[in-house]
Structures are given as structure tokens and as C-alpha cells.
Amino acid sequence: MKQIPEFDVARCKKCGICKHFCSAEAIDVHEDGTPYLARPKACTSCALCRDMCPDWAIRLCDLNEAEIEVERVA
């Protein structure tokens, strides 16, 4: 099953590294710097955003579960 990132906003320090390293350009940031998965279909589940996050604020989860989170933070 496809997996996409879920962001833990309590851990995130809004550094933008996840967006920077996402070659699929699936991640964007809100005005305050909080990242979100702007283009879920573009995500290739490569896990680079999770691996590069210095604050362990990203986990990959199944698409269905994550869709709920995307709606919640949108």
C-alpha cells in the first residue's frame, strides 16, 4: 500500500528541510512554516523527508490513514 508522510506539528520546528529534500515537490509549507503534504499523488513514498527531518517529526503512514490527517491540518 502507498505510504505518505504525516507531520507531528508538536515536534516540528518548521525548518523546511523536508520540503527542500522532496524531489517530487509533494510537500509545501503554510505561511507560518508548518509543512503539509500539498500534493499527495506526487509522493513516491521514498521516505527521504522522514529520514532527513532532524526532529523525528515525520512518520510514513498508509494513505487512507494519512488522508484524514491531511484534511485535519488543511
- Report the interface residues with ligand SF4, using CB under 6 A: 4-5, 7, 12-18, 21-22, 24, 26-27, 35, 43-49, 53, 55, 57-58
Which of 64, 35, 38, 63 shows the shortest CA–CA distance to 50?
35
Q: Please give the Cα distance from 29 to 65 (Å, whole number).
A: 21
Q: Is 36 helix (H, G, I), strand (E, B) or coil?
A: strand
Q: How many residues would you count in the chain?
A: 74
> Please, what is the minimum distance in Å from the beta carbon of residue 64 to ligand SF4?
16
| Residue with Cβ nearer ligand SF4 (48 or 70) | 48
| Residue with Cβ nearer ligand SF4 (44 or 68) | 44
